[in-house]
Amino acid sequence: MTVRMHIAQEPGQSVLLTLNSRYLRVLTLASAVVFVSLLGAFWVWIPSWKYPNRLVGLLVLLPFLLPYGFIPLRLNSRRVHSGLTLAIAMGCALVVPGVYLIRFVSKWENNWWILGNLVVALLMQPVLVVIAARAFVTIPHPPKWGIKLLGTLAYGAVLFGLFLQVYSPIPLQLSENEAAAQSYLLDRAIGMDFDLKCEARVADLPKEAAGYFFEYAGASPPMTTEGCPGLKGKNFAITARPLIYGRTGIRSFFVDKGVAVHATSENRPANPGDPIVWTMQDWLYHHRPA
C-alpha cells in the first residue's frame, strides 16, 4: 500500500509523491520513540546537573529534541521530502553522541532509567537512517531537492559539533574539583617559593578541600621579617589526592619548588616523574589584570 501526497512546486503545479505506508508507520513510530525516550531520560537526569533546573535544561535540549517531533508531522503532511531528509540527518548526527552519553551514564550515573531510555533512543537512529533512505530513493524529487538535503544535513552536522563542544567524559563537579586543586597547589607553591607575604603559610594548608586531601612535605618554614613562614630556596612538596577516587576526582597532583603541577590519573600519589599539566606561566595568565 502507498500513501500519495502532493507537494507544491510552483503556483498551479504539483509533484505527486508516493510513500509506502509501511515506511511511513515505521518512521513515525521510531521518531516518536526517540522523542519520548530522550525526554524521559533527560527529565530524570537534568536535576543531577549542577546548574540548570529542568526548564532551563530542556530549553537547551530543544534543538536536539524538536526535530524528532517534526519528522512525523512533516511525513504526514505535504512535506515528505523534508521529513525524510530530517530523519536521515538526525539519525546520522546523533549516533556517536548517543554512544558517548551511554558510556557516560554507565560509568558515572548508574541509573537504569536514564541508561535504558538512551539505549532505546540510540537503537532507533539506524532505523531512521535506513528506512528514510530507502523511502527517499523510491519517490520522485521536487526541484532543488539537493540544496534542501544539504541544508538539513548541515543542521545535523551543527548539532554534532555543538555536542562535541560541550561534552566532557567526566562530570562537571569532578572537573571543577580538579581545577580547584591544581590552582590551589600552584598558588601555594608560588607563595612559598617567592615569600609572597602571608599567602604561603604552611599552617593555612587545609587537610581537605574541594573533594581533595592535601599533604605538605619538606623543610619546616622559617619565620620571615614580616612574621610569615618563608620557604624561598628550600625544598618542599605538596600533594593532592581525591578523597574518594573516581567520585570526588580522578587525577592526583604534585607540586614542588619547580612550581609546576604534575598529575596522574592512576590511583596513587603523583610524583615529579608524572606529566606536567599546569605551570607558573599558566598561573600568571589566569591571574593577569583584567
What pLDDT score does 218 carry? Answer: 63
Average pLDDT over residues 92-116: 92
Positive or negative: CA dihedral 89, 93, 94, 96: positive
| Cβ neighbours of 183 (radius 10 Å) | 17
| Prediction pTM value | 0.72
Average pLDDT over residues 57-75: 91
What pLDDT score does 54 carry? Answer: 81
**Rounded Cα gap, residues 251 and 243, in angstroms:** 11
- Is the model's pLDDT at 243 over the cut of 60? yes
Report pLDDT digits (tens) over 107-123: 888 899 999 999 999 99
In percent, how much of the chain has pLDDT > 70?
Answer: 76
Confidence of residue 234 (pLDDT cuts 50, 70, 90): low
Positive or negative: CA dihedral 221, 223, 226, 228: positive
Residues 286, 289, 290, CA angle at the centre, nearest 5°? 90
What pLDDT score does 93 carry? Answer: 92
Worst-scoring range by mean pLDDT, 5-19, 47-61, 259-273? 5-19
What pLDDT score does 289 carry? Answer: 58
CA 20 to chain centroid, in Å, comes to: 38
Worst-scoring range by mean pLDDT, 20-34, 74-88, 271-285? 271-285
User: Would you state the cell numbers that stand for residue 250, as one nine-digit string?
Assistant: 580522578
Give the Å distances, CA to CA, from 219 to 157, 193, 234. 56, 12, 6
Average pLDDT, the chain: 80
- Is the model's pLDDT at 100 over the cut of 50? yes
What pLDDT score does 247 carry? Answer: 85
**Rounded Cα gap, residues 139 and 77, in angstroms:** 15
Report pLDDT digits (tens) over 157-196: 999 999 999 898 888 888 889 888 888 887 777 765 544 4
Amino acid at 13: Q
Residues with Cβ < 8 Å from 137, sequence gap 6 or more? Answer: none
- Bigger pLDDT: 148 or 118? 118
What pLDDT score does 41 carry? Answer: 94
Q: What residue spans define the domains of the chain?
A: 2-166, 172-286
Confidence of residue 285 (pLDDT cuts 50, 70, 90): low
User: Would you state the cell numbers that stand for residue 167, as one nine-digit string?
Assistant: 561534552
Amino acid at 47: P
